[in-house]
Amino acid sequence: MNAFRVTSTKRPSRTALAAIVAAMLVAGAAWHGTAATQPAAATVSTPITHSVAAGRDSYADIVDVVSPGVVTIHAQGRARMSPTQFQFPDDDLLQQFFGNRGGRRPEMPRQRQTALGSGVLVTTDGYILTNNHVVDSADTISVDLTDGRTLAAKVVGTDKPTDLAVIKVAGSGFHPVPLGNSDTVKVGDVVLAIGNPLNVGQTVTMGIISAKGRSTGVGDGSYEDFLQTDAPINHGNSGGALVNMRGELVGINSQILSNSDGNIGIGFAIPANMAKHVMDDLRAKGKVTRSQLGVVVQPVTADLAASLGLKDSSGVLVNSVNAGGAAERAGIKRGDVIKSFNGQTVHDTNSLRNRVADSGPGTSADLVIIRDGSERHVTAKLEEATPDKLARRDGGDRDDRGANDKTALGVTVAPLTPELADRLRAPKNADGLVVEEVDPDGRAADAGIQPGDVIQEANRQPVKTVEDLRAAAKRAGDKPLLLLISRRGNDVFVTVKPSNG
């Protein structure tokens, strides 16, 4: 959590206040004295003592019902600082890659960290929804209720892909917030955000739903379908409630978009329906079960639609198919355009990924695809998305960063697209895998690999897929793995030491 400093003007002394009051009294007396010399008015105006309308324009009744169900969460734990928090000079390529004089990066210090966040009581027996990043790596968790109680909490389960967590407190007399149907939320609906921003105490702000189906890619970024709101939220609001005008929970506040680290009117909340699915799985099984189609897809732009002979730019374009996956078994090929999934129009990669994930492993999905200008119907039997095949943000797969796998490098990678190559200043003919995330405890971090790097070769062999990289790491065995990395247009070889595990 980032620390914020609140600066206020200095409070005047009692002597100064007395002087100010005296001056005001003198000024008032002078004004009244002047007014007394004026001719009396023909009529005397009477102050209005009644309201214009019988009712009141207020959200107080909603707040009275909902606020007892929103809590403050304090999480403490020891966590190693990530190497990505330390920035090296951009003009020293060796320093960027290898740290001090090409040596191993110094061990990052472990510090006691305290996280502040919010949470929402969703059951009468003390289950609380919050963000994963609020309780991640916490040793102890305490929860402050609005009735003055502070209770110890335990983690029931976490789900990094959605940034959700379920914790539980023991006790009674809880006032849960009823769950609403986030699918029925519309852009323009009025909502209230409730939480504890910057530890100032429970705070209520008001705004509207300004967009739906947003994806930010911050954090894990695997499964996102954010509700966007302009209801002001800040650090400390994470995990708090976004409620509608019926006092129902429609979202769990999670992120803000800001160039000042403070609220600028763009906040994101995880839809309540997604949160309920995650919570139910975590309570019942201790993990979240999702399904996958086994494809990597990209949006259909107007130019792509024209080149493919499509009438419009709806749907998503398949740019790779996983060998042996559900899509390949169903006959889906690279270059196909997926137009609908189970009768619902596919508008973007984000919505397709979430629909596939929520369908459940083993279920059959009906897809409409366009191939060579002709519409086709295919049926795919979805498979479970296992930890080594997590769905990417665009619907494909990611590399396994599991610490127990000796071949794992500790990176999350994705195929390099022309758009990414241009943004990363990679050569136009560059090919390989883009590093999206780096595990600070992994082998790749020790070698100095950073997000945004492009892995072009492994042991002098080109790599284009996750399977290529994993196979190269496996073949290396107990020998260092030689990687050719492109960073901001510069190529350099990096050796990744074998795992000692």
Pair 238, 406: CB distance under 8 Å: no
As a whole number of Å, the end-to-end CA separation of the chain is 32
Range 371-402 burial, b when 16+ CB lie within 10 A, else e:
beeeeeebebebbebeeebbbbbbbbbbbbbe
Catalytic residue status for 377: no
From the list 118, 144, 159, 163, the catalytic residue is 163
Q: According to the 3-state scheme, what is the secondary structure of 117-131?
A: EEEEECCCCCEEEEE
Q: Which of 202, 198, 183, 151 is nearest to 248 (CA)?
A: 183
Give yes or no: 230 in active site: no
CB-count burial class (<10 Å; 0-12, 13-18, 19+) for 57? exposed
Tell me, yes or no, if 159 is annotated catalytic.
no
Q: Which of 133, 222, 336, 486 is catalytic?
A: 133
CB hemisphere CA count around 492 (13 angstroms): 19
The tokens for 84 are 């990505």
Of the candidates 182, 238, 254, 291, the residue annotated as catalytic is: 238
CA distance 390 to 168: 27
List Cα–Cα distances, 343 to 149, 339, 379, in angstroms.
Answer: 49, 10, 12
Q: Token pair for residue 427?
A: 């050569």
Looking at the DSSP bridge assignments, the partners of residue 458 are 461, 483
Give the residue numbers annotated as catalytic, written as ranges.
133, 163, 238
